[in-house]
Amino acid sequence: MAYTNAQARQQLLESVAQAIEEIGLALASLGEAYEQLDEQNADRLEEELFRPVQMAYGRAKRTYTEFADRHDLPSQTFQAASPGAPSKGVKGFLDSAMDAVGEADNTLATLQDSMLPVEVGDTELRGGLEEVRKLLGALPGRARQLVRTLGR
């Protein structure tokens, strides 16, 4: 499907917003997992998972806002996500967080593969998306490692 420049920019903005919402859900889930852990494991979760997701969230929002501003597009504000019931437990919250990270990464990968960021010629957007994907990339392996060592 051929897009006009305006349509392509709007599609880009919507895709980045979708990824931001998923990253926000990951943050909320990691926050809940943190609350259920002992201090040592909570510190590990914060260092290895929460902080990189928080950085990805901030970078994605900044990329989104700056792109919208550069192209005079309306932008949205993002509300805190609900991670679900505490009965999910730590593993359930970590699973939810990594599912959300995977969805966000997939959304951004699909966007990059679509060539829309190249077609609209926005170097800053492409750099921002790449940075967010780098931050998200190592998280599933880190989460598996954390789950493996919980309770030891």
* Residue-wise DSSP of 81-141: PP---GGGHHHHHHHHHHHHHHHHHHHHHHHHHTTHHHHTT-HHHHHHHHHHHHHHHTHHH
104 with 136: CB under 8 angstroms?
yes
Q: Does residue 19 register a pLDDT over 70?
A: yes
Longest dimension (CA), the chain: 56
Output the pLDDT for position 105.
97
Share of the chain above pLDDT 70, in %: 96
Q: Which of 83-87, 89-93, 124-128 has the lowest mean pLDDT?
A: 83-87
How far apart, in Å, do the first and last CA atoms of the chain sit?
53
Residue the block writes with tokens 């966000």: 104
Provide mean pLDDT across the span 112-124.
83
Tell whether the model's pLDDT for residue 16 goes beyond 90: yes
* Mean pLDDT, rounded, of the chain: 90
pLDDT at residue 89 in the model: 87
Domains of the chain, first to last: 5-149 (1.20.1260.10)
pLDDT digits (tens, 9 = 90+) for 67-90: 999 999 888 888 888 877 777 789
Report the distance separating Cα 150 and Cα 152, nearest Å: 6
The pLDDT assigned to 17 comes to: 96
Model confidence at 1: pLDDT above 60: no
Task: Report which of 131, 43, 149 is spatially closest to residue 91, judged by C-alpha positions.
Answer: 149
pLDDT at 132: 97
